Chains A and B, each alone.
Chain A
Amino acid sequence: GNSVTQMEGPVTLSEEAFLTINCTYTATGYPSLFWYVQYPGEGLQLLLKATKADDKGSNKGFEATYRKETTSFHLEKGSVQVSDSAVYFCALGIMNRDDKIIFGKGTRLHILP
């Protein structure tokens, strides 16, 4: 079946540190891949996405590259800020299948000033 596995948190970093949150997936068909972010007290919002192999999604300094050979979509940021503290969800959806998106369990990120 289709599934997403992401690293467990919490992840605690100092401000300006380099961030990587690992995500791997299992999918039948041709998945689109997403990273969503949830700030405290809010709903999830799309951070970035990639729809085919080797695509790189980017937004707000975050990047993730769709790696079909390793079935991965790791999230990276070169220099994190306190305001990046949130829960990050990796997710996939299968094009032309249905509208469902399968979410990972989420990784909580704490950035210390």
Chain B
Amino acid sequence: DAGVIQSPRHEVTEMGQEVTLRCKPISGHNSLFWYRQTMMRGLELLIYFNNNVPIDDSGMPEDRFSAKMPNASFSTLKIQPSEPRDSAVYFCASTKGQGPYEQYFGPGTRLTVT
């Protein structure tokens, strides 16, 4: 069974450009999470969805960040415009049921904004 799939694995972009990160959760999982990891701030929860509905977006840093989950098998995290301080590894994770159950993490997208 395929795990959580993220794309791209690496993204390098210039400041001011739009960046879109993609995630495909494990089939049958109904909660999806976006995290950001940096050396300075550690692992931060940005937003999570349950049954495609955003439940908690209190971790989204500012209006430049937006996330969508149009269906159970796909989610995007968009940054527009991007800034150098957005450079980080972004993880998507999914889980099943009424939790907390084990979260399955994707391999991450390493974003570098120059």
Residue of A nearest to B103 (CB): A101
CB of B75 within 8 Å of the partner chain = no
Contacts of B43 in A (CB 8 A): 44, 89, 103, 105-106
Q: Is the pair A43, B101 in contact by a Cβ cutoff of 8 Å?
A: no
Which of A65-73, A76-84, A90-98 is the contact stretch? A90-98
In contact, B107 and A99 (Cβ under 8 angstroms): no
Q: Is the CB of B45 within 8 A of A100?
A: yes
Tally B residues with Cβ within 8 Å of A: 24
Given A89-B43, A93-B100, A100 and B105 touching (CB < 8 A)?
no
Please, how many angstroms separate the alpha-carbon atoms of A99 and B102 in the complex?
A: 9
Decide yes or no whether A45 CB sits under 8 A from chain B: yes
Chain B residues in 8 Å Cβ range of A101: 99-100, 103
B residues at A contact (CB < 8 Å) = 4, 31, 33, 42-43, 45, 48, 50, 55-56, 91, 93, 95, 98-108
